[in-house]
Amino acid sequence: MKNVSIIVPFFNVEKYFRECLESLVNQDYENIQFILIDDESTDKSLNIAKEFAQKDSRICILSQKNAGQATARNLGLDFLESKLKFDFKGDEGGLCAFVGEGFKAWQNAEFEFKNTDYLLFVDSDDVVEKSFVSECLKAIKDADVLWFNYDFLCEIALKKIPKSQMELFDLSEGIISAKKWLEVAKTKPLFWLTWQGMIDFKFLQKIKLRFVNGAIYEDNCFGVLLFSMAKKIAICKKKLYYYRLRANSTMNPEKRELSRHSYLYELYLAVGEDFEALKTQQWAKSWVLSAMYMSEFEGFEGEFREHFMPIFLDRAVACLFLEKDPLNLRQKLEVLNEEFERYILSGAECVRHEKAYKLGFIFLQNYKSFGGLKRLFKELKKGALECEREWREFAKNKVKFHFLRFDEDKNNIEILKIKRHYSYKVGKIVKFL
């Protein structure tokens, strides 16, 4: 039987975590080890993980200082590659407790480490089918990676359930080449993958792929490089996974403030405790770091590099719109000067910073509630002023980055993708009201 490992990073998900873990430990395939990575939760999430570990000898828990999902997943990968050194601390609540450099760990006394054949990632607020693992093993065959479909668990009021990424790509079930995937990817929104795939672990080790620490869109870089390096990609259209859309998540937090123990707290203070400014900094940081990682990734070549590298570089240009640069992102961008000289950028990120896009985004964020409508005019006015400041900043910074070149065709494919967003379409109307 093949050994399957499932990495589950978690942070403050006590409301959903039990349901997630129940769906995992009750799989109809038993030869699994679960690596649960605590990102320094402040609620009862870690206690729930320990409760499950006491009952199930296949579970190992690692707990790191708060550093984000990318770092948590990388810690799990280090564990599976036996790169972590543990010192036994003693018995703790019926579990064997260990300490390591920068982390703590807990295991059932009967936990037995197994070398991984196949790897899966699961987000801690999602759930999976009972046959999740067994169906993946059937479908992957001799491919380097399996891409399976998913459905939504919606807690947010939506007029229309969005299509899954697989439905957007509309590829036939079976084995395809990376070049076939690329043909379709060129016409679609930027690809991303973490929990939608099963990965041959030896393949992952061979290409030496990791997540970009500190990035919040790490699944874009990871997914693009993973598929670009694969020889065979298996497609399974079965919906084996349920992705939860909820208000208070990493991407949609309810509170517009940050805990002092967050790895982002210093950045939050640096931008004047402005949550929206923090999100803007995170966006720019993610693409700068991802572009740097992609630029140096060994084996990422040919038509894959020619298509994706300019997209990541274009998004990294977001740092030129920042009024404050506490992370020295513009200095990091200069390191990529040879890449910028090699490619002509679409200018899609510039369109994302246009007044139409910004105002449309603000409108869509506020029109659904009475409170949002009350503050809408004020938010639109604030957004318009911010937009003007951003473009002044961009004009000032662009002079220093003489190697930037943008496509003169304002209807290139990447710009047209942005112009199809509701934010842009609504903003074109709002701008003239």
| pLDDT tens-digit map of 339-383 | 999 999 999 999 999 999 999 999 998 887 888 888 999 999 999
Banded model confidence at residue 430, pLDDT cuts 50, 70, 90: confident
- Rounded to a whole number, what is the largest CA-CA distance in the chain? 67
127-145 tens-digit pLDDT: 999 999 999 999 999 999 9
Whether residue 421 is found in the same domain as residue 305: yes
Distance of alpha carbon 391 from alpha carbon 353, whole angstroms? 8
156 and 12 together in one domain: yes
Q: In whole angstroms, how far apart are CA 106 and each of 24, 78, 232, 310?
A: 18, 16, 37, 43
Is 190 strand, coil or helix? coil
Residue 250 included in any domain? no
- Is 221 a member of any domain? yes
Whether residue 327 sits in one domain with residue 194:
no
Does the pLDDT value for residue 250 go beyond 60?
A: no
Per-residue pLDDT tens over the stretch 99-114: 999 999 999 999 999 9
Average pLDDT, the chain: 94
Q: What is the amino acid identity at position 387?
A: C
Same domain, 285 and 183: no
Task: Give me the pLDDT at residue 254, please.
Answer: 52
- Report whether 323 contacts 396 (CB < 8 A): no
21 is a domain residue: yes
* H helix or E strand, kind and range, residue 363: helix 355-366
Say how far apart CA 354 and CA 321 lie, in whole Å. Answer: 11
pLDDT at 258: 87
Q: Is residue 117 part of a domain?
A: yes
Domain annotation covers residue 419: yes
pLDDT reading at 164 higher than 50: yes
pLDDT tens readout for residues 258-288: 888 899 999 999 999 999 899 999 999 999 9
Among 191, 212, 245, residue at a domain's last position: 245
Residues 223 and 371 in one domain: no
Q: Are residues 228 and 305 in the same domain?
A: no
23 and 70 together in one domain: yes
Q: Does residue 60 lie in a domain region?
A: yes
Between CA 223 and CA 201 the distance in angstroms is: 15
- Same domain (yes/no): 114, 225: yes
Q: Do 271 and 237 sit in the same domain of this protein?
A: no
Please count the other Cβ atoms lying within 10 Å of the Cβ belonging to residue 394. 18
Contact 18, 46 (CB under 8 A): no
The letter for the amino acid at 66 is N
Question: What is the CATH classification number for the domain harbouring 132?
Answer: 3.90.550.10
Q: Stretch 381-407: mean pLDDT, rounded?
A: 94
User: Per the domain annotation, does 252 fall within a domain?
Assistant: no
Task: Quote the domain boundaries for residue 239.
Answer: 4-245
Identify the domain boundary among 210, 245, 280.
245
The answer to whether 351 touches 415, Cβ cutoff 8 Å, is yes
Yes or no: say if 291 and 313 are a contact pair by the CB < 8 Å rule: yes
State mean pLDDT over 407-431. Answer: 91
Residues 198 and 344 in one domain: no
HSE toward the beta carbon, residue 125, CA cutoff 13 A:
18
Mean pLDDT score, 279-301 = 97
Residue corresponding to tokens 């987000």: 123
What's the N-to-C CA distance of the chain in angstroms?
64
Question: How confident is the model over 80-89, as a mean pLDDT?
Answer: 96
pLDDT attached to residue 251? 46
Are 221 and 293 in a shared domain?
no
Count structural domains, the chain. Answer: 2
Say how far apart CA 123 and CA 9 lie, in whole Å: 7
- Note whether residue 22 is domain-resident: yes
Q: Verify that 308 and 352 share a domain, yes or no.
A: yes
